[in-house]
Structure 1
């Protein structure tokens, strides 16, 4: 009820604003063009690129990061839940990792932090509310102290609600919040640049274990009931959760010594804390979701609490010479793993040393380029190479790496599961090529990608790490087609996955994403967009999820997806305020009352979502 009340209020306010501004001729002094921001990756590559805040309606209707990335991930069906990529994703660091990655999609990335330069105070308010309990509130405030010094604060808070075993939408499933405080400074002579950010990330996921199987109620997709909260129970009792907290200090600085030549320094300190709690483990451990043998612990509860600290220090020099961008650096990295509840899953302070660099040539039109980045460990045992080409419509990538196995897979103990391995480094080779074609309003992009995974490590059906002896070969055939006209546009992405290890590396054979959109003008000034997203994955035996480990593991029986979901929307902009209304899974009940995104985890049922974004420039 509260959701529909809020929606009605926003709707009335929107048209009240419209009535006031239709004849408004007030001169706008400050706006998107007076607010600029830069990215560290551009500065590092010697680009003076400046961006303005996004005020367009394109893709504004998308309600979460999985939608934004065309749902090329596997998750637990609800916003903010544990996820993993379905297709290959490039690594950016050949160093040793901890190996807990299922919340990574929701964590901030220092490479994407915006360093603002504002002529007036800039504030952005974002609010999203869903009829099934999902809420999100984002706040940004940026202000220059003087023309060369800026401070910015970002805060993001969102949560999603339980869809099974809940009496109302107030019972949280995911509770997330993060904030960051950043500053950037440019000296008066423009030779010294400083970028610095502190951010905090806190992501808590209540673990339900998926749907509880009952003899009296089938959970087969063709027998699903529409009211999940009423008919389905979770496998676990209340109180089970996984939580990740992350604090990071990131500093980048550079000094220009002479024209085209700079020295730079990057400092990173990161402290991660992982917590798992099951207050009634003795009871919950009997459920299928844990997938373990009967164990006897001294206490009825099970608690895990460990921290991973990393200090990274990088120094180097860079510049431009006859159209080439070059960079050379050295990096020293220290890491340590501490565990309050198990001495076996710990790592004393260790160090890693890397040497690396990049070389790129950018043509005068800046859209055509060739760039290569590389980093090698001092022992030459581990390395990462990433080369990209863009030339007259042809785009290509060559990626190769040997990266240490994550600490989790080599040595782990939580009192229930344990192992001690000595796995080889993970070897990856990835090649991707695509060609952009355009004929009037029609665009066409065929693409092919091939990935070779050597020494691949996975969790088997018994939650034990296994390393393959043979190379996994994965080929992705991708076709992107689009049409773009003044009143209508459509895009379609079709992916065919071919591989030689279907029993180990689980992929849907077919993935398809379709987007349709049209628009019309109301009252001669208000352009309204309406359309729909259609997502489809062919049926496949996706990896199961282990709440005990917060990891995905191999299973062979439970099939997910095999159906399409349709998400219609409407969006418009009144002055600077963007609004969108979206109906998630609108086709629920047309064939099935739902579908699974992971074994025993249902996708979101039909729900209504409101989005509002309001930038303030003075």
Structure 2
């Protein structure tokens, strides 16, 4: 760790002493509905032979100058929808202190209190149609397929990002990309993330045990032909995530007066459990433009996922955890074969091939886009448990072929700020999805109707401790899950204040949830969710205040748990020091009202209902200061600043405390030559 600090400081000092000119902060573009593109600013179209051919930018003294404006990237979704936009590299100070994934996801997800632990959404999410595995708690720790950036650079581009989060939470990202020639770019992204145990194990010593570690590696490339008719985008994505599954902490007896002592030695529910997940994804997009109004495209995905869970001593967890808390149920509800240990491996492979046609028309300042496709998917899944222990063959396999048809329409109004889109997709004989959306400067509104199959984990799971099968037993088959979702949001500007009130209404049918013992159940009756939201932005000179809040009402809070009140807020002030050092300082807040949050079961990788402990009803505060000099950005942050103050300890999940107050430091620098 000391060597790592020295390395970072030496690189930082070399940059501070370099003669590179300072880059003024730029603001990310705002899109209808208050959303922003991730990570950059739209680059203006440039003319001339040098610009069009990717040549160097020259100043008055004919020096080649490379920087954020000479390195541009685009997203596959924009190419697919014929609205390709080039974005320059983001150099703003806003948000660079959001090093923890929960913060980066605007607290819309929650974890088990530490970096790298299982994530779950706070609010209901509309399911995806087609057969999905349903093991997703670690997926967001990797690069997402639709967020992979494809570059067009005029010089080699390197992005290095190091975060030392305190209490053993560390993350490093290294990105590199370079144009091979004017039409072909190649690059890669590398992420390494680790966190240490905060309770149990050997915490507080020089041999602290690792809690979570993650490797994520992406190789990406894009190519276009000389006549610009053929485009190829491709990337390979590998995620390797290891986790020590503790099952929660065994709390001290409240009668002893030590319930709020953060220094007390805490035991773990699962002292000998570990999990390991690997994901591989090969993604290829290609298109050929016969005419602007008629283009053909193809998208191929080959994915594999493997999740293994091992607990070498399950005996003590078949009974109540400890005599001080006899009301708590055993961690494992029962044992079917082996009462000593559990070893479970789930494998999933998918080949997804989509072919389609698309095009665009323009008339009188407006534009019309269309897309139609045929998609075939073939997948295989298997469960294997306790191999070599009491069972000669314990593998359960599932294979299936699926065919989808779909279409997409988009109309762009002459004002260039208003658009209407509609999309429909049908899995032959089963699932269905429809989405319609209107976006303008003042209003964003839409409606979606989805009927989706249960996930494969919800449908069937065979293990040493859980067994359910809703496939082979006709009377117990789960029905399609239905979601009807209508939403709207206003975008109002009053002087320097921007207000964004909104409303979401969900009607859910055949909802599937995991009960208090971790077994899936389907609710036959429909129920609703009504969520009202209110966002604001106020900017006056160097001061800014932004926030977003939600108030949620549920008609069946016995099967779905959402905090009634949810809010994020941030106040900040920016200024310049010594004519070179840009500073953005402030405090961010997060609040959830009290609710019975779901409990995590690592064997099935699912969150399930619990009625034993209530979480929330507190405000978490984190002061921060972001700095930039030349092309180096740094941040300092006091994470969970009010944890353990006034005898108050906060929890992110049942039996998992949020990490204690800690100091986080990060440095982010860009190289353009």
TM-score range for the pair, normalised by the shorter chain length? over 0.9
Name the count of aligned residue pairs: 609
Alignment check: 8 A CA contact 1:290 1:546 kept? no
Say which is worse superposed, 383-392 or 280-289, in terms of deviation. 280-289
Aligned to 1:484: 539
> Any unmatched runs of 5+ in structure 1?
none
Deviations 1:563-605 (A, max 9, x none): 1110110011111111011110112233334211111011111
Alignment check: 8 A CA contact 2:292 2:361 kept? no
Deviations 1:265-320 (A, max 9, x none): 11111011010011222344444685334537446221111211111111010001
* 2:492 counterpart of 1:457: no
Per the normalisation by structure 1, the TM-score is 0.94
* 2:284 counterpart of 1:251: yes
In the TM superposition, residue 557 of structure 1 has moved relative to its aligned partner by 2.1
Selected match of 1:43 from 79, 101, 105: 79
Query: Matched residues in 2 for 1:366 and 1:226: separation?
Result: 56
In the TM superposition, residue 506 of structure 1 has moved relative to its aligned partner by 0.6
Say which is worse superposed, 121-130 or 23-32, in terms of deviation. 23-32
Query: Matched residues in 2 for 1:608 and 1:486: separation?
Result: 29
SS in 1 for 2:559: coil
Query: Matched residues in 2 for 1:592 and 1:71: separation?
Result: 24
In the TM superposition, residue 153 of structure 1 has moved relative to its aligned partner by 0.7
Aligned to 2:491: 436
Distance 1:65 1:218, change over 3 A: farther
Q: What are the residue-to-residue correspondences of 1:9-20 with 2, within 5 Å?
A: 14=12, 17-18=15-16
Alignment check: 8 A CA contact 1:277 1:302 kept? yes
Alignment check: 8 A CA contact 1:344 1:412 kept? no
SS in 2 for 1:397: strand
Query: Matched residues in 2 for 1:426 and 1:158: separation?
Result: 36
Aligned to 1:295: 335
SS in 1 for 2:502: strand
Selected match of 1:281 from 306, 311, 314: 314
* 2:542 counterpart of 1:506: no
Distance 1:28 1:71, change over 3 A: farther
Alignment check: 8 A CA contact 2:131 2:455 kept? yes
* 2:454 counterpart of 1:405: yes
SS in 1 for 2:152: strand
In the TM superposition, residue 7 of structure 1 has moved relative to its aligned partner by 6.1
Deviations 1:494-522 (A, max 9, x none): 21111101111111111111101012211
In the TM superposition, residue 418 of structure 1 has moved relative to its aligned partner by 0.3
Alignment check: 8 A CA contact 1:235 1:289 kept? no
Selected match of 2:149 from 114, 122, 138: 114
Aligned to 1:362: 412
Selected match of 1:138 from 158, 173, 192: 173
Aligned to 2:528: 473
Say which is worse superposed, 192-201 or 256-265, in terms of deviation. 256-265
* 2:200 counterpart of 1:168: no
Say which is worse superposed, 426-435 or 26-35, in terms of deviation. 26-35
Say which is worse superposed, 24-33 or 356-365, in terms of deviation. 24-33
Aligned to 1:557: 612
Query: Matched residues in 1 for 2:15 and 2:288: separation?
Result: 48
Query: Matched residues in 1 for 2:14 and 2:457: separation?
Result: 56
Query: Matched residues in 2 for 1:196 and 1:9: separation?
Result: 34
Which portions of structure 1, spanning 4 or more consecutive aligned residues, are displaced by more than 4 angstroms?
Answer: 5-28, 216-220, 342-345
Alignment check: 8 A CA contact 2:644 2:660 kept? no
* 2:602 counterpart of 1:547: yes
Aligned to 1:331: 375
Query: Matched residues in 1 for 2:8 and 2:64: separation?
Result: 24
Per the normalisation by structure 2, the TM-score is 0.86
Query: Matched residues in 2 for 1:457 and 1:325: separation?
Result: 37
Selected match of 1:261 from 294, 299, 306: 294
Distance 1:148 1:22, change over 3 A: closer
Aligned to 1:236: 270
Query: Matched residues in 2 for 1:96 and 1:328: separation?
Result: 21
SS in 2 for 1:67: helix
Deviations 1:41-99 (A, max 9, x none): 000000120112222111111112211222122321111211211113344x4111111
Query: Matched residues in 2 for 1:608 and 1:454: separation?
Result: 45
SS in 2 for 1:63: coil
Query: Matched residues in 2 for 1:461 and 1:71: separation?
Result: 25
Deviations 1:177-208 (A, max 9, x none): 11011111100000000011111111122111
Superposition CA RMSD, Å: 2.3
Query: Matched residues in 2 for 1:460 and 1:139: separation?
Result: 42
Alignment check: 8 A CA contact 1:289 1:547 kept? no
SS in 1 for 2:275: strand
Deviations 1:334-356 (A, max 9, x none): 01112333877734321010000
SS in 1 for 2:69: helix
Alignment check: 8 A CA contact 1:88 1:451 kept? no
Alignment check: 8 A CA contact 1:344 1:411 kept? no
Query: Matched residues in 2 for 1:20 and 1:186: separation?
Result: 36
